[in-house]
Amino acid sequence: MSLKRIIVTNAKGGCGKTTITTNIASHYALQGRTVRLFDHDAQGSSLAWINRRPEDAAPITGVDASKNSDHRLTRSWQLRVPSETDIALIDSPAGTDITEMTSLFQHHDSVLIPVLPSPIDIHATAHFIKALLTTGGTRQQMIRLAVVANRVRKNTIMYHSLERFLFSLNIPFITSLRDTQLYAKAIEMGVGVQELATARNKTDKEQWAPVFRWLDTPVVTRTAPVTSIFNRFEQ
Ligand SMILES: Nc1ncnc2c1ncn2[C@@H]1O[C@H](COP(=O)(O)OP(=O)(O)OP(=O)(O)O)[C@@H](O)[C@H]1O
Ligand SMILES: [Mg+2]
């Protein structure tokens, strides 16, 4: 199997980057894939989650990518992906510098952007996506982007305005994850929601299915040229 690289990012804090990264890691680890999670956030939440994984859980390797912890190694050596890796996941920090972020992009990366249903988050995410699409790294690499709505309470006014915003983007809006304590519980236990031994996660498993379908679709190219996506922001 060839290496799949997945980046979870949004400059906005608290939108669910770590929650989404850890759940993707858990899914592929459960499938028996070799998963390497690069935590670019100095808070180290993803690494702390890996450290809390139960001993008998499917293994996930964590890499502290927030700093060059061993100065004898070059940064690119430290961040290299060993050939046996199936899935390389990147959890990124809030307030991420857009140029630094896009410099990480490689051909055929899948980039997931979580967004919360709140006016501040919608505004910040629109700004972030615009910056992402107009930065060299995104234009040059054939990456593909998708948005995931997170902490959703359907049938609320805010959810409807988030939905309108996401459909206006012309980039895939692949799923809505509900707001549930199960995510905090899973983070605390070092597992993904699908690893929780409860029937209460049935809805969550269903809500994740489109994410894995999208990630497992072979990457050919972006569905729309960057310029046509960008024009939407100009209207
Ligand atoms: N779908 C959800 N339902 C309920 N709580 C959630 C959900 N997604 C995330 N949370 C909670 O929201 C908080 C922020 O989530 P998370 O840490 O994943 O965001 P983040 O984008 O990684 O934050 P940061 O920018 O600080 O790295 C956490 O307490 C998490 O448990
Ligand atoms: Mg985080």
Contacts of residue 213, Cβ cutoff 8 Å, sequence gap at least 6 = none
Ligand 2 centre distance from Cα of residue 234 (Å) = 30
Ligand 1 centre distance from Cα of residue 66 (Å) = 19
The answer, yes or no, to whether any atom of ligand 1 lies below 6 A from the CB of 183, is: yes
Average pLDDT across each block of 10 residues of the chain; the chain has 235 residues. List them in order.
91 97 98 97 97 98 82 65 93 90 87 95 92 79 90 91 87 95 98 96 97 89 46 41
Ligand 1 centre distance from Cα of residue 219 (Å) = 28
Task: Note the pLDDT of residue 1.
Answer: 66
Give the pTM: 0.91
Contacts of residue 153, Cβ cutoff 8 Å, sequence gap at least 6 = 117, 159, 178, 179
Task: Note the pLDDT of residue 235.
Answer: 35
Task: Note the pLDDT of residue 227.
Answer: 43
Number of other CB atoms surrounding residue 179 within 10 Å: 13
Contact (CB, 8 A) for 178 and 203 = yes
Nearest CA residue ID for atom 8, ligand 1: 16
Sheet harboring 35-39: ordered strands across? 61-64, 35-39, 87-91, 4-8, 110-115, 144-152, 173-178
The answer, yes or no, to whether any atom of ligand 1 lies below 6 A from the CB of 115, is: no
Find out if CATH 1.10.340.30 is the number for domain 4-234: no
Task: Note the pLDDT of residue 10.
Answer: 96
Task: Note the pLDDT of residue 97.
Answer: 86
Ligand 2 centre distance from Cα of residue 45 (Å) = 6
Q: Which ligand places an atom closest to the C-alpha of 46?
A: 2
Question: What are the structural domain ranges in the chain?
Answer: 4-234
The C-alpha atoms of residue 151 and residue 117 are separated, in whole angstroms, by: 7
Q: Which ligand places an atom closest to the C-alpha of 94?
A: 1
